Chains A and B, each alone.
Chain A
Amino acid sequence: MQMKLQRAIIALTALLMSSVARADWTLNMPRGVTDISQDVYGLHMLTFWVCVGIGVLVFGVMFYSMFKHRKSKGAVSANFHESTKVELAWTLIPAAVIFAIGVQATYTLADMYNFEDSEVTVEVVGYQWRWRYRYVDNNAEQEVSFFSSLSTPRDEINNRMVKNENYLLEVDEHLVLPTGKKVRFLLSSSDVIHSWWVPALAVKKDAIPGIVNEAWTNINEEGIYRGQCTELCGKDHGFMPIVVEAVSPEEFDTWYAAKQQEAIETAALFDKEWTYDELMELGETVYNSACASCHQPDGSGVPGAFPALRNSTIATGTADGHLDIVVNGAQGTAMAAYGNQLSDVDMAAVITYERNAWGNNVGDMVTPVDVFNYKAGE
């Protein structure tokens, strides 16, 4: 009996210790890894300490009065109730303190708004619910552009698997940036408003449809910096993280060249002879990354919000009708135009998949050439 109790206590202690060890009681803003983020941290701390100072004074007088001037201690109330001098003092002194903070803040703000002399420009476009990064490079033979989506498995989110260390803060493709170079971001959105935030860089800017916003950074230290979308953008707002990987300029150049090569190879896939099985296999992957969050992995949709694809008139109708809605989207609804989001290969694969998966069994297949011809014919 005693042994059992002892063992239970040991087990409990171990459990508590381990949870304390894992516990993360971070209290403050990160200092970050750019000059700007250090300035912002400084401003944050300056304002914080000013507030603490005022707080100690005001609450000090207040609690002193509450202990000393209480009726139960025989305090008799004084009669004063006005003083222009005092009122003037506590108007002007706080105004001066605020002026001092304001000047400091205005300088930092001006720095943040100086977008000139950037060496790398990245276009950041928000989609429901992932980011697309494009390196703006007019001289490049092959443009580098890719989507970056959450890579945390759904099973972790639904508590069927143990959550890993970077739960909800991991993506399939990092945004790779060089250190020591001024990087300019051009931000926009293809659907609703998103906001691109990486705390370690102190960059947060809204990605708004129809508007191109600017922001910039210059990273001092190599490393991986994680952030999230910070503007409510619908159902999966909590599931579109940002991962920036800062590497040395040399490493960046190597990575960039490899990415260009990869893009050339991907483009070549268009000319390949595709079989039905190959398209179905690729189609499932594309479907799960681009379509499944709304139409659901089994094509059943969400009643009232996102239509089902299983047994739908479009997915089991003509191929052209099916192409039309995926390429051009449906005006006035949440269905985006995927014509410029998916390559012709991916488009062909996903349409083939949707027409034949979950018992739709239309039996036909759409090839990349069909997609190309459809787009050309419009």
Chain B
Amino acid sequence: MAERVSVGQAAPVFELTDVQGNAVRLSDYRGERHVLLVFTRGFM
């Protein structure tokens, strides 16, 4: 199993494509906004 990240550490970087087709990187928000990352179970 992947190791959980924890409070105080630098957030792992990532880039994903959103539902609109835009490439979004976590770093796009650096210095601009706090980011809530919500990992879902999936749609039931």
A and B assemble together: no
* Residues of A that sit less than 8 Å from B by CB: none
* Residues of B that sit less than 8 Å from A by CB: none
